[in-house]
Chains A and B, each alone.
Chain A
Amino acid sequence: MSVEGRPLIEQDLIRKAKRGDVEAFEELVRIHQQIAVRVAFLVVGDRDAADDVAQEAFVKAYHALNRFRQDSPFRPWLLRIVRNEALNQRRRHGRQERLSLRLANDPVSGGAAPSPETTVIIGADRQAVLDAVNELPARYRQVVAHRYLLGLSEAETAAALGIPAGTVKSRTARALTRLEQALAGVIEGLEFE
């Protein structure tokens, strides 16, 4: 997901967008739209709703750009707006937060060759891991989803969820302990197959 030299390009785009350059902001949208939709999807659990949320969030972010500090990281700031918009949307529809993730039929995004690690995990194991994640209490599920499923850093997760980085760290540790317990059978199978 990382792009070489992105920070410099991104800062330039933000500077231009702040001056009202719509094309520059469109480029920022292009860069971040996938992660934005996924963050929204984790909250609203529906593809179309996630799309609407991300769109609304980008528009709000554009209008809020003058409050964005130029030297701070853009992605967590944006994802915070996305998540808040998603929470708003969910509240408007009276939905409860739930993780409704499913396994894809055609796995491995980006067409990359499966790594040696992925070849030993069978579908049943993945389903067990997903079930275990879905079973976590919401506060743990959120940090696990942002850290591992979205690949955000600890600081980005803290910013997106609006909680201190120390809380992300402690919740992650507790969540992993629970997952270790829930997945003991799967882990054993991997080690001793």
Chain B
Amino acid sequence: MSSKGWNLNSPRRTVETLLVDLADHIEWPQAPVLDRVPGRLADPQPKPPRRRRWIPVTATLVVLVAALLVLSPQAREAVADLLGVAGIQIELRPELEEAVGAGLDLGREVAIGEVVESAGFAVSVPALAGEPDAVYLSEGQVNMVWEGGESLPAAGDTGVGLLYTQFPSESGGDRFVKGVGSETTVVAVEVAGASGLWIEGVHVISREDESGRRIEETLRLAGNVLMWESDDVTHRIETAVGLEETLRIAESVEPIAS
């Protein structure tokens, strides 16, 4: 016998109907929100807490990194490899210049659709940040920029609240080299299960071309950097906010559907 009033043309349709039925039978919370909201509307915008709760394992890794930074280039490379961030080396640089309001020099500004087509790898966007305010393409490197605002304060005097960079991890001989000064904290972190590094404090960025020639790049944001590698793409986020907030942004990274 067939269904009493059901439109069961297909199992798919039946599943959808079962789900809609289920929605009416879920024990949803009936919590009143309203009465506790109005009193708080005059409050100033609460600032997210900047937590620094390094777990002991992480602390151990920080010490390990700090100790090895003064060792040989091979040892430093081994640390970067150990931490699983491809295409990135860490090395000690004796002196770092403070970032001044230099131009960001991120490449050619392109439409987001163009970058998805031409980047040569699966381009992602941190969904939490919404659509980027500008997208730049530079030698296979995709740079997305969000203007600073209330939730993402601008870093220094750049006016930029978030810079998200992505490039293929195995892009020939090009490597990024992070210069880490003595005031800098390096922490091993996990970004949605992938190994990453959080670098807090002043830093410079340079890269080596295929012949090993080092090209100094203009310091982008004098903020904090989170780097991780996922699906053969190295991701880097630069912000002025703390690790917790940056991780939240990083973990919202999703490939853009082409």
Chain A contacts to B: CB under 8 angstroms: 22, 25-26, 29-30, 33-34, 36-38, 41, 47-48, 50-51, 54-55, 58-60, 62-64, 67, 84, 87-88, 91, 101-105, 107-109, 115-121, 125-126, 129-130, 133, 144, 148-151, 161-167, 176-177, 179-180, 183-184, 186-187, 190-193
For residue A62, give the distance in angstroms from its CB to the closest CB of chain B: 5
Q: From B4, B16, B25, B45, give the contact of A126 (CB < 8 A).
A: B25
B3 cross-chain contacts in A, Cβ below 8 A: 120, 190-191, 193
Contact among A22, A150, A176, A177 with B23 in the assembled complex (CB-CB below 8 Å): A150
Interface residues of B (CB under 8 A from A): 1-6, 8, 11-12, 14-34, 36-38, 40-43, 45-46, 48, 127-128, 149-151, 244, 248, 252, 254, 256-257
Q: Which residue of B lies closest to A158 (CB)?
A: B127
- Inter-chain CA distance A103–B28, complex, in Å, is 9
Contact A63 B45 (CB under 8 A): yes
B31–A54 touching, CB < 8 Å: yes
User: Which of B16, B24, B41, B257 contacts A108, CB < 8 Å?
Assistant: B24
Contact B254 A163 (CB under 8 A): yes
Please judge, given known A-B contacts A163-B254, A176-B12, whether A38 and B6 are in contact too, CB under 8 Å. no
Contacts of A34 in B (CB 8 A): 28, 30
**Which A residues lie within 8 Å of B45 (CB)?**
60, 63
**Minimum C-beta distance from A191 to chain B (A):** 6
Known pairs A41-B29, A117-B5, A126-B21 / 15 extra A-B pairs, C-beta < 8 Å:
A41-B28, A47-B31, A55-B37, A102-B27, A107-B25, A108-B24, A116-B6, A120-B3, A130-B22, A151-B20, A161-B127, A162-B254, A165-B257, A177-B12, A180-B12
A104 x B26 contact (CB < 8 A) = yes
* Bound CA span A126–B22, Å: 6
